[in-house]
Structure 1
Amino acid sequence: MRLFMDARYTRTDFHDGISRYGSSLIAAVARMSPAVEVTLVISDEAQLNLLPPGLPWVKATDPTSPAEPLLARQLNPHRPDVVFSPMQTMGSAGRDYGLILTLHDLIYYQHRTPPRDLPAPVRLLWRAFHLAYWPQRLVLDRADAVATVSETTRTLMRRHRLTSREIRIVSNAPQPVVSPRDPELPPEKSLVYMGSFMDYKNVETLIRAMAHLPGYRLHLLSRVSADREAQLAAVGRAAGVSEDAVLFHHGTSDEDYAALLRTATALVTLSRAEGYGLPLAEAMAHGTPVVVSDLEIFREIGGPDGGAARYVPLGPVPVGGGPAAPEGDGSPSGLAARVLELEAPGAFAEASRQAVARSAAFSWDASARALVDLARELAGRRARARRRAEFTASYTG
Structure 2
Amino acid sequence: MDARFTRMDHHDGISRYGASLMAAVAPYAQVTMLIHDERQLALLPDLPWVKINSPLSPLELFVSRHVNKLGADLVFCPMQTMGSWGRKYPLVLTLHDLIYYEHPAPPGFLPAPVRVLWRLYHKAYWPQRMLLNRANVVATISNTTLSLMRQHKLTKRPVRIIGNAPQGERTPRDPGVTPEKTLTYMGSFMPYKNVETLIRGMAELPDFTLNLLSRITPERRAELAALVPAGASVVFHNGVTDAEYDELLLRTTALVTLSKAEGYGLPLVEAMALGTPVVVADTAIFREVGGKAAQYVPADSAHDFAVAVRSLADPAEWAACSSASVAQAATFSWDSSAQELLAIAQELSPPR
> TM-score, normalising length from structure 2?
0.98
| Match in the other structure for 1:30 | 26
- Would the aligned equivalents of 2:204 and 2:303 in 1 still touch at CA under 8 Å? yes
Matched, 1:353 2:323: yes
Matched, 1:93 2:85: yes
Q: CA deviation at 1:176?
A: 2.4
Amino acid at match of 1:265: T
Q: Distance in 1 between matches of 2:261 and 2:67?
A: 36
Q: Distance in 2 between matches of 1:362 and 1:69?
A: 35
- Would the aligned equivalents of 1:209 and 1:336 in 2 still touch at CA under 8 Å? yes
| Match in the other structure for 1:148 | 140
Task: Report Cα offsets for 1:151-210 as digits up to 9, x if no partner.
Answer: 000010011000000000000111124311000001111000001111111111111111
Secondary structure of the 1:188 match is coil
Q: Could you tell me which of 292, 301, 305 is aligned with 2:289?
A: 301
Q: Which runs of 5+ in 2 are unaligned?
A: none
| Match in the other structure for 2:38 | 45
| Match in the other structure for 1:322 | none
- Would the aligned equivalents of 2:7 and 2:43 in 1 still touch at CA under 8 Å? yes
Q: Distance in 1 between matches of 2:146 and 2:235?
A: 37
| Match in the other structure for 2:66 | 74
Superposition pairs for residues 337-352 of structure 1, below 5 Å?
A: 337-352=307-322
Secondary structure of the 1:335 match is helix
Q: Distance in 2 between matches of 1:178 and 1:207?
A: 29
Matched, 1:375 2:352: no
Task: Report Cα offsets for 1:300-348 as digits up to 9, x if no partner.
Answer: 00002xxx2000023xxxxxxxxxxxxxxx2211101011111224111
Which stretch has the larger CA shift, 91-100 or 367-376?
Answer: 367-376
Superposition pairs for residues 1-397 of structure 1, below 5 Å?
A: 5-31=1-27, 33=28, 36-53=29-46, 55-236=47-228, 239-242=229-232, 245-304=233-292, 308-314=293-299, 330-379=300-349, 382-383=350-351
Q: Distance in 1 between matches of 2:340 and 2:275?
A: 26
Secondary structure of the 1:192 match is strand
Q: Distance in 2 between matches of 1:217 and 1:69?
A: 49
Q: Distance in 1 between matches of 2:75 and 2:163?
A: 18
Secondary structure of the 1:178 match is coil
| Match in the other structure for 1:325 | none
Q: Distance in 2 between matches of 1:23 and 1:215?
A: 39
Amino acid at match of 1:310: Q
Task: Report Cα offsets for 1:276-323 as digits up to 9, x if no partner.
Answer: 11000000000000000001000000002xxx2000023xxxxxxxxx
Percent sequence identity is: 59
- Would the aligned equivalents of 2:178 and 2:315 in 1 still touch at CA under 8 Å? no
| Match in the other structure for 1:389 | none
- Would the aligned equivalents of 1:177 and 1:285 in 2 still touch at CA under 8 Å? no
Q: Which runs of 5+ in 1 are unaligned?
A: 315-329, 385-397
Amino acid at match of 1:370: E
Task: Report Cα offsets for 1:56-107 as digits up to 9, x if no partner.
Answer: 2111100000011111011111111110000000000000000000000000
Q: Distance in 1 between matches of 2:270 and 2:171?
A: 13
- Would the aligned equivalents of 2:95 and 2:140 in 1 still touch at CA under 8 Å? yes
Secondary structure of the 1:165 match is coil
| Match in the other structure for 1:321 | none
Q: Distance in 1 between matches of 2:296 and 2:23?
A: 33
Secondary structure of the 1:58 match is strand
- Would the aligned equivalents of 1:208 and 1:241 in 2 still touch at CA under 8 Å? no
The runs of 4+ residues in structure 1 deviating greater than 3 Å are: none
Which stretch has the larger CA shift, 345-354 or 155-164?
Answer: 345-354
Q: CA deviation at 1:126?
A: 1.1
Task: Report Cα offsets for 1:24-80 as digits up to 9, x if no partner.
Answer: 00000002x2xx211111111121121111x22111100000011111011111111
Q: Distance in 1 between matches of 2:155 and 2:231?
A: 47
Secondary structure of the 2:235 match is strand
- Would the aligned equivalents of 2:170 and 2:273 in 1 still touch at CA under 8 Å? no
Name the count of aligned residue pairs.
Answer: 352
